[in-house]
A and B are shown apart, each in its own frame.
Chain A
Amino acid sequence: MSLLEVVDLSAAYGPIQVLHGISLTVDAGEVVVVLGANGAGKTTALRAISGLVAAKGELRFDGVSILGRHPESIAHRGVSHVPQGRGTLAGLTVDENMRLGAYSRRDREGIAADLAEWYDTFPPLAKRRSQTAGTMSGGEQQMLAVARSLMSRPRLLLLDEPSLGLAPLVTKQLFETLATVNRERGIAMLLVEQNAALALELAARGYVLEAGEIVASGTAENLSRDGEIRKAYLGR
């Protein structure tokens, strides 16, 4: 049984159908990438999984249906969504954002330990603990969004274009951190990313979404070798 099971999932904004029955799975501890052009419905797919957008079909996390549940209850179960364009709380300080990331947890010591660990992993955040999140640079806010998500000790991380607006070097560091987190903590990830080369390096498997439908899927290795995918997403 996979950690996340999406079967024939459809979603619409009003009368406009955006997802036309997509199916995908993410195993425990696995990193899966979703590739697709602008407007393909990648963000919508993540929003449907985290409960922000109403959907039809089947949606199971850890064997339990989460279809139609509220976002906060899905978050409680261990799904943490880092939305496209960050979703940090701009008016709160870095430290407050981090602590709110651990909102569903009760283990004080574990929270303190994680806080120390993520500040250690993301030194720019540690330096800006008491700074208002909204006054940080875009890259720093992106780091905060990821670190804050990790504070919830998720079992599945939904990452929507985490490299958006990051300098190439910072993007590389972020992906290295994600790989470490995945290896050491066994956190599964469903990753939407424009930087397909980096994403396919991190991921074990991937799906290609086109106009709301899955048009290809396979191991990261096979996808990177596929001629059309190389042309469309890897630019070579």
Chain B
Amino acid sequence: MGELVQVLVYAATIGSAYALVAFSYSLVFSTTRIINFAQGTLVVVGGYLAWWLWSGVFDRGTSMLLVVIPAVVLAAIVGLVFDLVAIEPLGDFDPTSNIAWLVTTFGAAIVVQEVVAQLISDTGESIPDLFHSLFGWQGSVVQHVAIGPSDVVLVVATGAIVGVAAFLQARTKVGRAFRAVAQDRQAAALMGINPKVMVRLSFLIAGAITGLAGILIAPNYGVRFAIGLNLGLAGFVAAVLGGLGSTSGAIVGGYAVGLVEGFVGVMSSRADTYRPIAVFVVFVLVLTLRPTGLLGRPVVEKV
């Protein structure tokens, strides 16, 4: 029983972070049909920005909550810069035959990696919890598993972000235009929609969401480069597992990877070694049975 709780708590919290990162990959993929391999670096960029604002700019004299919004905005801008620097200069290109985007997004990732490496110490930085208490609740221990306010915030924030995004996509003019570009760039342009603007928007939102994921897990895992790499990779796996371009797929994929890792965590004493292997096995199995991912739909080629 206690072990099951442990698995579920792990899957719910880290799975939420994976789901957010996967959703970000998916957003960018839907408008561009590329994977932004620099996406994962935004996890540590978000964490770093929050830490820098909190400890540097505000001199630790403020609540973490106050730095979240400016940090997310800055992360969004970094996301947009990826588009402006790595993708837009490529012009109109077919991502399946011209793979320059692979080089430019990896290049952007390396640059960000080097810059952040200069800025944070080798052991990483730590920031305090966003919430010490939630309506007076300061955390509980269920079956020997500690659940804190920030765990709940992470799960609720994920649900809220995905819910709001789905609502905006379904109900607003910009949301419809976004889906139009995701589906057929040329047809959308013929309706007067500027595809470039929607692509920028997807990078901007993806930057904000991945940055936020980095900030939300920072109190537990610290601001360290390895965390960014892990989340960037796991988020990518989750996005492909769930079906690239599908919002629900990204969420399902995120929690699925969280669950697999959670089970490995209670079954093995060397969880850190076996987690990636187990995830990889599930990944290959699912993609063998369903090449478009759990909830992905095959791309219908238009003639």
B176 touches A99 (CB 8 A): yes
Q: Of A51, A90, A100, which one neighbours B191 at CB under 8 angstroms?
A: A100
Is the CB of A91 closer than 8 A to any CB of chain B?
yes
B190 touches A103 (CB 8 A): no
A89 touches B180 (CB 8 A): yes
Cβ–Cβ < 8 Å partners of B187 in chain A = 83, 87-89
Number of B residues with CB within 8 Å of any CB on chain A: 20
Is the CB of B173 closer than 8 A to any CB of chain A?
yes
Q: Of A71, A90, A99, which one neighbours B190 at CB under 8 angstroms?
A: A71
Cβ–Cβ < 8 Å partners of A176 in chain B = none
A224–B188 Cα gap in the complex (Å)? 37
Identify which of residues 1-45 in chain B touch chain A, using a CB-to-CB cut-off of 8 Å: none
Q: How far is the CB of A21 from chain B (nearest CB, A)?
A: 25
B191 touches A75 (CB 8 A): yes
Residue of A nearest to B190 (CB): A81
A99–B191 Cα gap in the complex (Å)? 10
Identify which of residues 32-78 in chain B touch chain A, using a CB-to-CB cut-off of 8 Å: none
A152–B191 Cα gap in the complex (Å)? 8
Among A71, A81, A87, A92, max chain B CB count under 10 A is at A71
Cβ–Cβ < 8 Å partners of B302 in chain A = 85
A72 touches B193 (CB 8 A): yes
A99–B177 Cα gap in the complex (Å)? 10
A100 and B176 in contact (CB under 8 A), knowing A72-B194, A87-B184?
Answer: yes
A71 touches B173 (CB 8 A): no
Cβ–Cβ < 8 Å partners of B195 in chain A = 72
B300 touches A76 (CB 8 A): no
A76–B302 Cα gap in the complex (Å)? 25
Contacts across chains A and B counted by CB atoms under 8 Å = 70
A72 touches B186 (CB 8 A): no
A121–B90 Cα gap in the complex (Å)? 44
Cβ–Cβ < 8 Å partners of B193 in chain A = 72, 100, 103
Is the CB of B142 closer than 8 A to any CB of chain A?
no
Cβ–Cβ < 8 Å partners of A104 in chain B = 191-192
A104–B191 Cα gap in the complex (Å)? 8
Q: How far is the CB of B187 from chain A (nearest CB, A)?
A: 4
Is the CB of B303 closer than 8 A to any CB of chain A?
yes
A85 and B179 in contact (CB under 8 A), knowing A72-B189, A100-B191, A103-B192?
Answer: no
B194 touches A70 (CB 8 A): yes
A113–B177 Cα gap in the complex (Å)? 21
B192 touches A92 (CB 8 A): no
Q: How far is the CB of A58 from chain B (nearest CB, A)?
A: 22
A223–B183 Cα gap in the complex (Å)? 41
Q: How far is the CB of B98 from chain A (nearest CB, A)?
A: 14
A85 and B303 in contact (CB under 8 A), knowing A92-B176, A92-B180, A103-B177?
Answer: yes
Cβ–Cβ < 8 Å partners of B176 in chain A = 92, 96, 99-100
Q: How far is the CB of A227 from chain B (nearest CB, A)?
A: 36
Residue of A nearest to B174 (CB): A103
Is the CB of A212 closer than 8 A to any CB of chain B?
no
Q: How far is the CB of A101 from chain B (nearest CB, A)?
A: 6
A91–B184 Cα gap in the complex (Å)? 10
Among B179, B191, B303, max chain A CB count under 10 A is at B191
Contact with A along B164-208 (1 / 0, CB 8 A): 000000000100110110011011111111110000000000000
Cβ–Cβ < 8 Å partners of A91 in chain B = 179, 183
Is the CB of A194 closer than 8 A to any CB of chain B?
no
Q: How far is the CB of A75 from chain B (nearest CB, A)?
A: 4
Residue of A nearest to B197 (CB): A72
Q: How far is the CB of B62 from chain A (nearest CB, A)?
A: 42
Contact with B along A67-81 (1 / 0, CB 8 A): 000111001100011
A152–B193 Cα gap in the complex (Å)? 12
A76 touches B192 (CB 8 A): yes
A188–B206 Cα gap in the complex (Å)? 42
Is the CB of A40 closer than 8 A to any CB of chain B?
no
Enumerate chain A interface residues (CB-CB to B < 8 A): 50-52, 70-72, 75-76, 80-81, 83, 85, 87-92, 96, 99-101, 103-104, 148, 152
| 30 pairs, CB–CB < 8 Å, chain A vs chain B | A50-B190, A51-B189, A52-B186, A52-B190, A70-B189, A70-B194, A72-B195, A81-B190, A83-B187, A87-B187, A89-B179, A89-B180, A89-B183, A90-B183, A90-B300, A91-B183, A92-B179, A92-B183, A96-B176, A99-B173, A100-B176, A100-B188, A100-B191, A100-B193, A101-B191, A103-B173, A103-B177, A103-B191, A104-B192, A152-B192
Extra A-B contacts (12), CB below 8 Å, given A89-B179, A103-B193: A50-B190, A72-B193, A75-B191, A87-B184, A87-B186, A89-B184, A99-B173, A99-B176, A100-B193, A103-B192, A104-B191, A104-B192
In the A-B complex, the 3 residue pairs with the smallest Cβ-Cβ separation, listed nearest first, are A104-B192, A71-B189, A75-B192
